[in-house]
Amino acid sequence: LHKKKSTVLRNPPPLTTATILSKTYYNVHSHQPESLDWFNVLIAQAIAQFRDDARTDGAILDSLNKVINGPNKPDFLDTIKITEISLGEDFPIFSNCRITPSSEEPGKLQAKMDIDLSDVITLGVETRLLLNYPKPLVAVLPVGLSVSILRFSGTLSISFIPSQENTSNSTTLTFSLLDDYRLELSVRSLVGSRSRLQDVPKIAQLIESRIHAWIDERVVEPKFQQIVLPSLWPRKKTTREHVPDTSTDSDS
């Protein structure tokens, strides 16, 4: 008894956005924005753990050193030495979450939320500008920079969409920022060895616009990040067990 595949897999026709919204009791026009306090706590706990691991581990220093001195480093810069890293003490606050129709993908829904971070996240580097004309190393200019992110605020859009690539049935998380995000930086600079220039405005401007460009090229609408998510299907190999702490008394 052979059944055609089409009669084995019984599924109704595709759902419209309106049906999805009604089956999840979400009225896009009247639903109040939702808080994400629980999410802020979980994220904060993960970030605190990351900062703590980085402290004891020095691995972050090594990876950052490799990235900074990697193949993209311009020839006119000597080796870049990291003089300071501060990963901050505060946590991003997500809030005001609401479902809206996607402006970019018709017929699709996304979640928009506000994100706000007030902290001091600092990277300090030292290097030397190498002037190689008319002869190699005809002049060498020491430069010290310290860049701090003080405040970030913006609106994040997220959604889950299937992977368009050929890899099986994976779901991806997509996220992007609206272009009205705000980034507050502080750039300190020290140029020269005998006569020094401090906090050169042009350098601060250059750094700020490079950072904005980096963000805009990757994650500001109409661009978005698309990350493949792992399967959440419970498997034996992803099963773990909490082991109760048996060391209550110190008899042994």
| Structure tokens given for 219 | 């994650």
Among left, alpha and beta (phi > 0; psi -120 to 50; other), residue 88 is left
Rounded to the nearest whole angstrom, what is the least distance from the CB of residue 104 to a second copy in the complex? 4
> With respect to a second copy, which residue has the nearer C-beta, 26 or 76?
26
Taking the complex as a whole, how short is the minimal distance between the CB of residue 106 and a second copy, in angstroms? 8
Measured between alpha carbons, how far is residue 42 from residues 177, 212, 228 in Å? 21, 28, 21
Residue count of the chain, please give it.
252
Which residue lies nearer to a second copy by CB, 14 or 134?
14
3-state SS class at 242: coil
Between 54 and 129, CB nearer to a second copy: 54
Question: Which neighbouring-strand residues pair with 186?
Answer: 148
Between 54 and 191, CB nearer to a second copy: 54
The backbone torsions φ and ψ at residue 141, rounded to the nearest 5 degrees and listed phi first, read -120, 115
Quote the least distance from Cβ 134 to a second copy, whole Å. Answer: 30
Of the two residues 133 and 233, which places its CB atom closer to a second copy in the complex? Answer: 233
Give the Cα separation of 106 and 224 in Å (integer). Answer: 16
Shortest distance in whole angstroms from residue 159 CB to a second copy: 6
Q: How far is the CB of 244 from a second copy (least distance, A)?
A: 8
**Secondary structure (3-state) at 68:** helix
- Using a 10 angstrom Cβ sphere, with 0-12 exposed, 13-18 middle and 19 or more buried, the burial of residue 177 is buried
